[in-house]
Amino acid sequence: MADSGRRPEAPLKAPDKKQISRRAVLGTGAVLLGSAGLTAAGVKISDDARHAARVAAPSSSSAPTRPSGKTKEYWVQADSFSHNLVPTGADQMMGTTFKPADSTYWAVGYRAFTANWGEALPGSDDIGPNTGIPGPVLRAEVGDTVLVHFRNNDTHYGWPHSMHPHGFKYAPDSDGSYIAADTTTPGRAVPGGQSYTYRWTAEPSSVGTWPYHDHSVAQGITPAGPVMEFNAEVGMFGLIAITDGRTPKVDREFFLFFHDLYQDNLPSLSQDYDAFNGASYLGNTPTFEARVGDRVRWRVAALGKEFHVFHIHGHRWKDEAGRFTDSQILGASTALTLEYTEDNPGDWLYHCHVTDHLAGGMVGWYRVTA
């Protein structure tokens, strides 16, 4: 139904005069340096590129691929809600306990709805749990056009929000990233109560796993001022899964998002938390289940200012160079797509192997039955 969901936005409020906090800017710089080092060392994070390269070289032309596929529509709403990162109140790994007040803060997350934001969709293998953190899995086949009808229902903070995708091809008016010097391009700061429709196209170079996230006006809730991508820190992110005819069929597909929350930015938290899919510590993070013989795919991505190492106990898989590994590096906005055939029953840990992050809650159960 094309752009019928697109509505004009109200004029933006004047940008906040405060600058982005120095701490946040320094953190971002460190990440950029680290990223350059990784590239120089030839470490490539996504293993989907080689797959896409067999189909077609990434397009250097500005002409979008002729849409050969479907038009898919998603109705997504940003909702604000109180969120507890450690809902069981305990860490099964170290035996530490947490009171709800230690690990609860005001979150904003994306949820998928029926048409015209009628009602929130139930969780499914297609979109994931749809509980808000992370947002719904957005899927496309190469050739598809995806229309995302986004509504801002952030009633707690009342901030403008947006959706910014990775992996798709799109025009500037579907980029969703705030630029103070350009308040005329729509979709970059959708005010509370208003909506906007983004149009994204899946190209041959789009095959793989990607993040999407809020890229709107930087916000903050402490006297230190706005923090870069604070909206993503409070929960506004999700995964994109793009396939083509060569994408193998699997029996199990797991979705895992690495992200971090800092007490300096969120003073209601008793400490910094390192989280998987909006939860921290063993027994609170997602438990993934498979059976021996299952073909398994993990789709994994990260945002923030940390580097992570994704590790699964008792398992190996081939990296993009064709070498077996059981640990792969992940940085802000990079993703992994890894596949193997399950052959090892037991209760296993998956975790971030950066020790600070393991101590901060980045660990979960992977249970395999015979």
First to last CA, the chain: 47
Q: Which helix (H) or strand (E) holds 51?
A: helix 49-55
Output the smallest distance, CB 132 to Cu ion, in A: 22
Nearer to Cu ion by Cβ, of 112 and 363: the residue is 363
Sign of CA dihedral 182, 186, 187, 189: positive
Is 351 among the residues that bind Cu ion (CB under 5 A)?
no
Question: Which CB sits closer to Cu ion, 149 or 357?
Answer: 357
CB of 147 to Cu ion, least distance (A): 34
271 vs 359: CA distance, rounded Å: 11
What's the Cα-to-Cα distance from 123 to each of 86, 208, 287, rounded to whole Å? 20, 22, 15
For residue 356, what is the enclosing H or E element?
Answer: helix 355-359
Comparison of 151 and 357: residue with beta carbon closer to Cu ion: 357
Does the footprint of Cu ion cover residue 357 (CB under 5 A)? Answer: yes
- CB closer to Cu ion out of 78 and 354: 354
Q: How far is the CB of 308 from Cu ion (least distance, A)?
A: 3
Q: Of 117 and 350, which has the nearer Cβ to Cu ion?
A: 350
Residue 91 or 175 with smaller CB distance to Cu ion: 91
> Per the omega criterion (within 30 degrees of 0), is the bond before 134 cis?
yes
Query: 250 near 295, Cβ under 8 Å?
Result: yes
CA atoms of 310 and 330, how far apart (whole Å): 7
Instruction: Please state the closest distance from residue 356 (CB atom) to Cu ion, in A.
Output: 8
Count CA within 13 A, CB hemisphere, residue 306: 25
From 72-80, 147-155, 210-218, 351-359, span contacting Cu ion (CB under 5 A): 351-359
By CB under 5 A, the count of residues binding Cu ion is: 4
Of 207 and 352, the one with the shorter C-beta distance to Cu ion is 352
Find out whether 342 and 306 touch, Cβ atoms under 8 Å. no
Interacting positions 229-248 with Cu ion (CB under 5 A): none
**Cβ 33 to Cu ion shortest distance, Å:** 18
Name the DSSP letter for residue 90. Answer: B
**Residue at token pair 């690495």:** 258
Rounded alpha-carbon distances, angstroms, from residue 228 to 173, 215, 224, 246, 265: 21, 9, 12, 38, 11
* Binders of Cu ion in range 302-341 (CB under 5 A): 308
Closest CB to Cu ion among 197 and 280?
Answer: 280
Tell me which stretch binds Cu ion (CB under 5 A): 75-83, 177-185, 290-298, 355-363. Answer: 355-363
Query: Binding segment for Cu ion among 29-37, 291-299, 312-320, 345-353 (CB under 5 A)?
Result: 345-353
Choose the stretch contacting Cu ion; rule: CB under 5 A; options: 152-160, 265-273, 285-293, 354-362: 354-362
- Which residues have a Cβ under 8 Å from the Cβ of 14 and sit 6 or more positions away? none
Q: How far is the CB of 350 from Cu ion (least distance, A)?
A: 12
Q: How far is the CB of 195 from Cu ion (least distance, A)?
A: 35
| Residue 352 CB, nearest approach to Cu ion (Å) | 3
- CB closer to Cu ion out of 20 and 363: 363
Interface of this chain with Cu ion, residues 269 to 308, rule: CB under 5 A: 308
Q: How far is the CB of 262 from Cu ion (least distance, A)?
A: 14
Distance separating alpha carbons of residues 2 and 147, to the nearest angstrom:
8
Exactly one of 303, 354, 359, 368 binds Cu ion (CB under 5 A); that residue is: 354
CA pair distance 107, 361, nearest whole angstrom? 18
Task: Pick from 85, 338, 352, 368 the residue near Cu ion by CB under 5 A.
Answer: 352
DSSP letters along 70-85, please? Answer: PEEEEEEEEEEEEEES
Residues that bind Cu ion (CB under 5 A): 308, 352, 354, 357
